Amino acid sequence: MQEPKKRTFIGLLLATLAILCGAGYVIWWIPQVGMRNIHPALPHIFMALVAGVLSFIAFGVILLIITLLRGREIFLAQRLRWVVVKILFPMMVLVGRLFGMSRDAVQQSFIAVNNQLVRSNIHGVKPDRLLILLPHCIQLNDCNIKITGDVHRCKGCGKCGIKDLVAIADRHAIDLSVATGGTLARRIIKEKRPKAIIAVACERDLTSGIVDSYPLPVIGILNQRPFGPCVNTTVEMADVCEALEFLVGLPDEAASGAAAVINA
Ligand code: SF4
């Protein structure tokens, strides 16, 4: 995982933990008087409860930081991914906003951490249980062939990345689908029932896709937007090949010499 994204994530994690500890203290302190009136032991019981919850979260955060710093063989990776996806990430978006961080930067760090946790926990996916999911904007905007529903309608003119991506998927007999949005993506996943997904999209769509698809393992690859968002986007072909090779365990010849897929 890239170091700046890892540092961003760890910084946000620590800031979130500090804010949670402060909030925990306030939650414990405010109702003190009322509780004491009910029973003198009640404030202590409540304090023990708050401390227990915070200790549990702190343990998860520390474990996550250690494993991210180690960069491999992550202990309890699947459980940690649950903690990251379901609990920490929503809080980290708010904390990031408090510190004036861009949403894209927080989402990029989340995607990078998710990828590392997924990779530490999955190997040897059968090609027919893998799905490559692409955003519609990767198709040339002027191409009027409808490839959602069947990417093989592509005529292979090479003016956008669809041609090469279809070729890679066909070479390994892997399902490749194009989705116009989250609803269609969810329907495709429901129909195809993959064991793992390689998803290409922007920060926002990848993040929501990873969260929505949990516990399905998703390796997210950010698209490139040389013409701005949502039009004629591209993807680094080598990144797709590398993820595919990692999951399926097959080297793809396109990975070695592949350059970015460029929309004409
Ligand atoms: S490669 Fe050519 S035919 Fe295929 S989707 Fe892109 S522009 Fe259309």
Which atom, in ligand 1's list, is nearest to the CA of 264? Answer: 7
Question: Would the pLDDT of 207 be above 90?
Answer: yes
Amino acid identity of residue 199, one-letter, is A
CA of 30 to the centre of ligand 1 (A): 62
Q: CB under 8 Å to 49, separation ≥6 — which residues?
A: none
Q: Name every protein residue with a CB atom under 6 angstroms from any ligand 1 atom.
A: 139-140, 143, 145, 147, 154-160, 162-163
How far is 164 from 148, CA to CA, in rounded Å? Answer: 16
Q: What is the per-residue pLDDT for 2?
A: 62
Atom number of ligand 1 nearest to Cα 147: 5
Comparing 84-93, 190-199, 244-253, the range with the smallest average pLDDT is: 244-253
More confident residue, 56 or 173: 173
Question: Which residue bears the tokens 């998803």?
Answer: 199
Render the chain in DSSP notation, one character per residue.
--HHHHHHHHHHHHHHHHHHHHHHHHHHHTTHHHHHHH-TTHHHHHHHHHHHHHHHHHHHHHHHHHHHHH-SS-TTHHHHHHIIIIIIHHHHHHHHHHTT--HHHHHHHHHHHHHHHHHTT-----GGGEEEEEEGGGS-TT-----TT-GGG----SSSTHHHHHHHHHHTT-EEEEESSHHHHHHHHHHH--SEEEEEE-HHHHHHHHHHHTTS-EEEEE-B-BTBTTSS-B-BHHHHHHHHHHHH----HHHHH--B----
> What would the pLDDT profile of 147-205 be if each residue is shown by its tens digit?
998 999 999 999 999 999 999 999 989 999 999 988 899 999 999 999 999 999 999 99
Fold topology of 127-257: Rossmann fold (3.40.50)
Q: Which atom of ligand 1 lies nearest, measured to the CA of 160? A: 6
233 or 72, higher pLDDT: 233
**pLDDT averaged over every residue in the chain:** 85
Vertex 217: Cα angle to 213 and 223 (nearest 5) = 80
pLDDT band at residue 71 under the 50/70/90 scheme:
low
- C-alpha 261 – ligand 1 centre gap (Å): 12
Residue 104 has pLDDT above 50, yes or no: yes
C-alpha of residue 200 to centroid of ligand 1, in Å:
17
Residue 158 CA: which ligand 1 atom is closest? 1
What confidence tier does 258 reach under pLDDT thresholds 50, 70, 90?
very low
At residue 59, the pLDDT reads 81
Please state the domain extents for the chain.
3-119, 127-257
Residue to mutate (ligand 1; options 134, 157, 166; most atoms within 8 A of CB): 157
The span from the CA of 134 to the CA of 143, in Å, is: 16
- pTM higher than 0.95: no
Per-residue confidence (pLDDT) for residue 27, from 0 to 100? 80
Mean pLDDT of 23-35: 78
Encoding tokens for residue 68?
A: 């991210």
Q: Which of 51-55, 71-75, 104-108, 212-216 has the lowest mean pLDDT?
A: 71-75
